[in-house]
Amino acid sequence: MNTRTLELMVGLFVAAGIAALFMLAMSASNLSSYGGDEGYTVKARFDNIGGLKTRSPVSAGGVRIGRVTEIGYDMAGYEAWVTMSIDPQYDAFPIDTSASILTSGLLGEQYVGLEPGAEDEYLASGSVITLTQSALVLEQIIGQFLYSKGDE
């Protein structure tokens, strides 16, 4: 085999490998919705975060606008802290925006849903969302239901 064909084949091989990587990155992974980390971060306090995890989606009106970056527990207030990063193009949420932990579908993953408020000031990096609603824990709901049934 002469050098030209050999080099051509190797070139094709390397190109095919890079094309395969590119294809995997573009169509089979979340590169297209990859916002990077340049979003601004907002914190919220919850009594109970249920099954929320880091990298869970943050959405408003059903549209994904960011993701949860950090979850911690505050020993001073006995509350869970959720830090989320919101994509920079969604920078005009009023400061009285409320956050609730919702479940997609009956058994789906949990996410943070933002409900915009009405104030003129906007959330900025480091803001804290004060109006929050905890996750619905199935066992508690069933427990309350049985309790109320027992009263009847």
Partner 1 sequence: MVETILNRTQMLGRATLDGFARLGRASLFLLEVLSNLGGMLKRPGLLIKQLFSVGVQTLIIIVVAGLFVGMVMALQSYYALVDFGAENSVSVMVVLSLLRELGPVITALLFAGRAGSALTAEIGLMKTTEQLSGMEMMAVNPIERIVAPRFLAGVIAMPLLAAIFSAVGVMGGYLVAVELLGLDAGAFWSQAQENVELIDDLGNGMIKSLVFGVVVSWIAVFEGYDCIPTSEGLGQATTRTVVYGSLAILVLDFVLTALMFGK
- Contact stretch for partner 1 (CB under 8 A) within 17-25, 111-119, 127-135, 141-149: 17-25
Residue 29 binds partner 1 (CB under 8 A):
yes
Q: For residue 30, state whether it binds partner 1 (rule: CB under 8 A).
A: yes
For position 141 contacting partner 1 by CB under 8 A, the verdict is no
Tell the smallest beta-carbon distance from residue 88 to partner 1 (Å).
19
Residue 67 half-sphere exposure toward CB, CA atoms < 13 A: 13
Question: Please, which residue, 32 or 148, has the CB nearer to partner 1?
Answer: 32
In this complex, which beta carbon is closest to partner 1, that of residue 34 or of residue 147? 34
Rounded to the nearest 10°, the torsion over CA 55, 58, 63, 65 is: -80
Q: Of 8 and 124, which has the nearer Cβ to partner 1?
A: 8
User: How many residues bind partner 1, per CB under 8 A?
Assistant: 26
- Give the range of 13-21, 42-50, 79-87, 128-136 binding partner 1 by CB under 8 A: 13-21
Residues near partner 1, by CB under 8 A: 3, 6-7, 9-10, 12-14, 16-21, 23-25, 27-34, 55
